[in-house]
């Protein structure tokens, strides 16, 4: 009976492909695990957020998030793009990419260590032991955390979505969440929260990496071009890594820890709603890596259309439900409701994600350089102006402008690349 239902469902999905212009069987198989994983991850994150809102004072939570933002900025100077390179290599059969990338990422993490001791030492000398020790704790663990976390793009490249969901969306989420909830209740102070966050994440991610690596054959093939591509992506991502966390740093310095806490709760749920898009991007990249450009170009607009329809439903639903969600879950952060409703509009920018996946899957390094550098510079300028002149609201509006600008630029670069390939093909 089950096989009959499965056969009928497969037939229905194949029939729908003439309208969606997508491989619906592949999408459904991957999406099932993506949705299951994101639901569990979102529930875990929601439970953690409720605990943080209930037990941790706003100023403490703001300091905690500030230290995490500093560590993220330092991480931008490592091989931050190696994960995408691993996914691409593994999708083409180079299973040795996991071990190679682990070693390479640790070797290239020396900048994180230098920055950690320099910045942590600065705060200690200045007498701020909370920030100084927090940076030292997080910065020394981060290189290992980043290296162990490479199991996730490896499993994406192998299209082992069930296993990836189990590790990435359950194991490596629930262990740190439980540890942080206990810490928030017992010791709601910045340093215990920072120490538990990094140590629990490191332990969970190391377990997931070990389980993944233990299944590999010793004779796995190695990709001689993976590290080179990873370095390019990492160089591209330096400005992006800084720009991606500049909002936290600016708001902390110009508005204070309390406003930073409100900002994180205002953006938290909308950002969680983007979770399935990340899984979809990994699935799309793995698919695009082995497809010819003509097939991709013929279906990409259709993918964007369905993402647009989905975003209308998601954004409208969230704007209506947000007041009830915050009143029930985060009564201490009711002030964040209007900011969160405004910020939800930025989810419309997700429609360009297939174009972003194409540029990455086809290793369009030049286009990625242009896109990342341009948007990162624009992001720093717009966010700085927004925070300095309009505070929290200015930052929210700045992020919306940036997301739509990134979406438009990504699609423009995709179109330019497609036209260039078309002209090159016609000449040949």
Tens-place pLDDT, residues 365-424: 788 788 888 999 999 999 999 999 999 999 999 999 999 998 898 888 888 877 766 666
The two tokens of residue 231 are 């370095």
Q: Are 66 and 304 in contact (CB under 8 A)?
A: no
Could you report the per-residue pLDDT of 218-244, keeping only the tens digit for each?
Answer: 666 888 888 888 888 788 778 888 888
State pLDDT tens for residues 279-320: 555 556 556 656 666 667 767 777 788 888 888 999 999 999
pLDDT at 315: 93
Compute the distance between CA of residue 310 and CA of residue 280 in angstroms, rounded to an integer.
13
Its pTM stands at: 0.81
Enclosing H/E stretch for 47? helix 24-55
Q: What is the DSSP letter of 188?
A: -
For residue 350, what is the DSSP state? Answer: G
Cα angle, residue 121 at apex, residues 120 and 127 outer, rounded to 5°: 95
What confidence score (pLDDT) does residue 67 get? 97
Q: Give the whole-angstrom CA distance, residue 247 versus residue 66.
A: 10
Look at residues 125, 154, 124, 148 and name the one whose alpha carbon lies nearest to residue 136. Answer: 124
Nearest to 180 by CA among 190, 169, 168: 190
Q: How confident is residue 248, by pLDDT bands cut at 50, 70 and 90?
A: very high
Distance of CA 153 to the CA centre of its chain: 12
pLDDT at 291: 66
pLDDT of residue 7: 59
The answer to whether 33 and 101 have CB atoms below 8 angstroms apart is no
Per-residue pLDDT band at 215 (split at 50, 70, 90): confident
Provide the mean pLDDT of the chain: 84
More confident residue, 10 or 77: 77
Lowest pLDDT segment from 118-132, 279-293, 324-338: 279-293
Closest listed residue to residue 295, CA positions, set 219, 358, 235: 358
């Amino acid at each position: 009976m089950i096989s009959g239902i499965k056969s009928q469902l497969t037939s229905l999905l194949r029939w729908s492909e003439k309208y969606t212009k997508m491989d619906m069987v592949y999408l459904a198989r991957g999406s099932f695990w993506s949705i299951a994983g994101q639901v569990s991850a979102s529930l875990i994150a929601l439970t953690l957020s409720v605990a943080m809102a209930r037990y941790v004072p706003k100023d403490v939570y703001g300091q905690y998030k500030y230290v995490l933002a500093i560590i993220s900025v330092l991480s931008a100077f490592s091989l931050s793009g190696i994960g995408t390179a691993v996914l691409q290599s593994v999708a083409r059969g180079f299973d040795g990419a996991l071990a190679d990338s682990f070693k390479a990422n640790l070797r290239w993490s020396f900048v994180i260590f230098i920055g950690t001791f320099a910045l942590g030492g600065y705060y200690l000398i200045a007498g701020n032991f909370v920030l100084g020790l927090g940076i030292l704790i997080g910065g020394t663990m981060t290189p290992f955390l980043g290296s162990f976390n490479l199991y996730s793009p490896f499993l994406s490249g192998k299209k082992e979505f069930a296993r990836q969901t189990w590790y990435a969306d359950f194991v490596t989420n629930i262990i740190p969440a439980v540890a942080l909830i206990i810490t928030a209740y017992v010791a709601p102070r910045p340093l215990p929260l920072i120490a538990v966050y990094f140590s629990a994440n490191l332990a969970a991610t190391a377990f997931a990496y070990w389980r993944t690596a233990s299944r590999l054959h010793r004779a796995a093939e190695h990709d001689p071009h993976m590290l080179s591509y990873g370095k390019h992506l990492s160089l591209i991502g330096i400005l992006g890594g800084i720009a991606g966390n500049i909002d936290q740093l600016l708001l902390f310095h110009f508005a204070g820890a309390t406003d930073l806490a409100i900002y994180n709760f205002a953006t938290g749920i909308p950002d969680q709603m983007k979770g399935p898009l990340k899984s979809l991007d990994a699935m799309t990249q793995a698919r695009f890596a082995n497809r010819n450009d003509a097939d991709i170009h013929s279906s990409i607009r259709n993918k964007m259309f369905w993402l647009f329809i989905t975003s209308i439903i998601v954004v409208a639903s969230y704007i209506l439900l947000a007041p009830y969600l915050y009143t029930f879950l985060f009564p201490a952060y009711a002030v964040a409701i209007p900011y969160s409703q405004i910020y939800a509009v930025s989810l419309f920018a997700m429609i360009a994600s297939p174009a972003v996946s194409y540029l990455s899957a086809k290793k369009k390094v030049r286009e990625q350089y242009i896109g990342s550098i341009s948007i990162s510079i624009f992001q720093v300028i717009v966010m700085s102006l927004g925070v300095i002149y309009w505070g929290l609201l200015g930052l929210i509006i700045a992020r919306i402008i940036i997301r739509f600008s990134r979406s438009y630029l990504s699609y423009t670069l995709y179109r330019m690349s497609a036209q260039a390939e078309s002209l090159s093909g016609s000449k040949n």
